Amino acid sequence: MKAFRSLASGSIAVRLAASALFWSFFILLTAGLILSALYRDTTERAFDARLLAYATDLASDLVAPGNPEEREFGALGDPRFNLPLSGWYWQVGRPDAAPRDIRSSRSLFGAQIPGLVPPGDDSRFGEVRKGYRSGPEGRTLRLVERDVDLGEDGRYVVRVAGPADEIDGEVRRFTFALTVTFLLLGVALGLTTLLQIRFGLRPLMRLRAAVSAVRRGHADRIGGAFPEDIAPLAEELNLLLDTNREILERARTQVGNLAHALKTPLSVIVNEVEAAPEEIASRVREQATLMRDQVNYHLDRARAAALAGTLGTITEVAPVVAALTRTFEKIYRDRDLAIASDVAPGTRFRGERQDLEEMIGNLIDNGCKWAARRVQLSALPVSEGDRPRVRITVDDDGPGLPEEARATMLKRGQRLDETKPGSGLGLSIVGDLAALYRGSLALAHSPLGGLRVILELPGDGA
């Protein structure tokens, strides 16, 4: 049952191939059994016809003029009737005759051929009876017997037998030839079926490749000509892609409008409060800055949620890391920090460039705030099952973070040291963005002595 469910949930090609092979095997096996049975029947009929011809020849000699008891039977034209225990025998006698009164071929060598009906049973008198009996030396014989009524001279039974293994041998040779033929035919049918399936499913394979190209960012739409059975599916997928882009574009516009609508009043409030007493102005500026940070955070999260499911967006990691490294080297040049990066060739992130810059920028900034002299970033593609991933690691040589405090630091607004600049949203933003892309963010001890931040994101396997 498990194998059946596994097959039912497998690929279409496997299901078609398994179904075709099963039914081909079933049909060939059934046809082989039927043909073998028909050939055995035909072989038996031909064998019985030969035996009946010999029996008719003996009956002709028996009805010739003269005393039947003194009748001399002529040669049947087959020397095997004269070879002792050859398997070819004939026998003529009355139904109730004693063994000494029964005349038989030399090949019987004093033995007798058993009858097909019990002695005294006249229910089948006059029939040409056929069947199998055990003969001399336990050899199975094919037997034909017929009755001859000579009127006043009485009734006689003529029996002629031949070795049944000749029939079996013919059937075995035919079955062997048939098996070889059907095996070759089955192999040919199997190969033909596989070729037909491959040819028939080729449009689906091209459609799959086209969808994969869109997903990987190599194409914007599904192109190419498809058969009329699949063309509507390709058209619907293109409409879905267009609708998705329109929705995302509207989401970008709405997020931008909302950001502008909120930031402008905040800026006005900050400007107007300058005329207020310093204590009030300071408090308002602090709260306005906090509000701006919160607005930016939630707007960025909303924008990322809209873009995270975008198909066909691929970002090269190396240029983003290089640009951010140069930027933070300038920002922290007064601290003489060494910011090193190592990005494996071909490392690609399946997502928006702006989101990748946001995540890596926050991680480098966090590392620079706590590092003593060095920040090290590495990025490489990894595999998780059949899903390609990108692992980005940022290490610093700062004071590090106790294990019990690492989970707390990933919460929004949490800060290890209030004397350090920032709102405490950096790692939280990275964690939220990673979650939107079905990635992960983890903290660990760094080999440099400080904190290691491990970011995993969906990658591109191209």
Are residues 379 and 333 part of one domain? yes
CATH number at residue 138: 3.30.450
- Residues 299 and 331 reside in one and the same domain: no
Give burial (CB, 10 Å; 0-12/13-18/19+) of 359: buried
Residue ending a domain, among 263, 289, 312, is: 312
CB 362 within 8 A of CB 428: no
pLDDT the model gives residue 35: 94
Check whether residue 373 and residue 254 sit in a common domain: no
**Domain co-membership, 80 together with 118:** yes
What length does the chain have? 462
Phi-psi domain of 77 (left: phi exceeds 0; alpha: psi -120 through 50; beta: other): left
* Enclosing domain of residue 131: 66-166
Domain boundary among 277, 312, 347: 312
Q: Is residue 213 part of a domain?
A: yes
Is the same domain home to 241 and 339? Answer: no
Q: Count of domains in the chain? A: 3
Residues 322 and 281 in one domain: no
Query: Phi-psi region for residue 275, left (φ > 0), alpha (ψ -120 to 50) or beta?
Result: alpha
Is residue 24 assigned to a domain? no
Residue 54, domain member (yes or no):
no
**Long-range contacts of range 107-110, CB-CB < 8 Å, 24 or more positions apart?**
107/80, 107/81, 107/82, 107/83, 108/136, 109/84, 109/85, 109/136
pTM of the model: 0.53
Distance CA 357, CA 42 (A): 85
Asked if residue 8 is part of any domain, the answer here is no
286 and 323 in a single domain? The answer is: no
* pLDDT for the residue 420: 46
In a domain, 23, yes or no: no
pLDDT of residue 411: 59
Whether residue 353 is found in the same domain as residue 447: yes
58 in a structural domain? no
Q: For 150-225, where are the E strands, in sequence order? A: 155-163
Task: CATH number of the domain at 300, please.
Answer: 1.10.287
Q: What is the pLDDT of residue 137?
A: 87
- Domain co-membership, 443 together with 320: yes
Q: Which two tokens stand for residue 272?
A: 């107007």
- For residue 447, give the amino acid letter: P
130 with 251, same domain: the answer is no
Cα 244 to the chain's mean position, in Å? 31
**In-domain check, residue 36:** no
Mean pLDDT, contiguous 10-residue spans, the chain (462 residues): 55 81 90 94 94 89 73 76 90 82 84 84 82 91 90 86 93 94 92 86 83 73 81 84 76 68 69 68 71 66 55 82 92 89 90 88 91 93 81 92 72 46 62 85 90 90 55
175 belongs to a structural domain: no
Pair (264, 384) in one structural domain:
no
Pick from 265, 286, 312: which residue ends a domain? 312
Query: Does 234 lie in the same domain as 156?
Result: no
Sheet with 440-445, strands from edge to edge, namely 338-343, 374-384, 387-396, 451-458, 440-445
Instruction: Determine the Cα–Cα distance for residues 20 and 29; give it in Å rounded to an integer.
Output: 14
